């Protein structure tokens, strides 16, 4: 079982409360190994009104929260039964587990927020083995040589035809390798 991103439907306007409750329940019910991150998709907008510039935070998808989790029966139960949660998106109901978001979908949303699908602080370090999942080197494995977080780029050492070669990839083009 691997962790993936899911979309949870909430009562509109209750996204922050649901995020807080999910994080508390993950702690108190010892689900830290199944429920990792809860994100409210939002972005900053600059608004000019009467000549005054204001920065506002606007929800990208009101009534929805993203959750990074391992879809076990217990974790599914905990999330579904959190106050304010009305269900998962991508589930047909009738006890069927939901479909996770594709990595490119998660990347689009999180990149607009300035964060990465990968929990870079915990999962990514120099020397880590990663799999390239997009771009010209798709399917190849590499070892992280350097991390450029401000530009969301990595320098990887990849074995090309028996020769170790440095390639630059974007964070959204890789996933952590378990091999």
List of residues 6+ apart from 6 with CB closer than 8 A? 66, 67, 68, 69, 71, 88, 89, 90, 98, 100, 101
How does pLDDT run across 46-82, given as a tens digit for each residue?
A: 888 888 888 888 888 889 999 999 999 899 999 999 9
Q: Tell me which range, 5-19, 48-62, 89-103, 125-139, is most confidently predicted by mean pLDDT.
A: 5-19
Q: Would the pLDDT of 137 be above 90?
A: no
Q: What is the pLDDT of residue 6?
A: 94
Q: What is the pLDDT of residue 118?
A: 66
Domain ranges of the chain: 4-117, 122-176
Structure-token pair, residue 89: 């998106």
Question: How many CB atoms are located within 10 Å of the residue 30 CB?
Answer: 10
Task: Please name the fold of domain 122-176.
Answer: SH3 type barrels. (2.30.30)
CATH 1.20.1340.10 given to domain 4-117: no
């Amino acid at each position: 079982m691997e962790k993936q991103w899911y979309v949870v439907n909430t009562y509109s306007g209750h996204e922050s409360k649901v995020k807080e409750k999910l994080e508390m329940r993950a702690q108190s019910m010892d689900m830290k190994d199944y429920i990792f991150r809860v994100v409210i998709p939002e972005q900053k907008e600059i608004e000019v009104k009467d000549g005054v510039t204001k920065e506002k935070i606007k929800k990208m998808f009101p009534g929805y929260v993203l959750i990074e989790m391992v879809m076990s029966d217990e974790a599914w139960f905990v999330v579904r039964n959190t106050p304010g949660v009305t269900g998962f998106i991508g589930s047909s109901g009738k006890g069927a587990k939901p479909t996770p978001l594709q990595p490119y979908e998660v990347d689009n949303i999180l990149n607009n927020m300035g964060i990465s699908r990968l929990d870079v602080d915990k999962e990514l370090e120099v020397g880590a083995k990663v799999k390239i999942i997009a771009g010209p080197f798709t399917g190849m494995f590499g070892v992280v040589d350097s991390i450029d977080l401000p530009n969301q780029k990595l320098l990887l050492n990849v074995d090309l035809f028996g020769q170790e070669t440095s390639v630059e990839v974007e964070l959204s083009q890789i996933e952590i390798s378990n091999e």
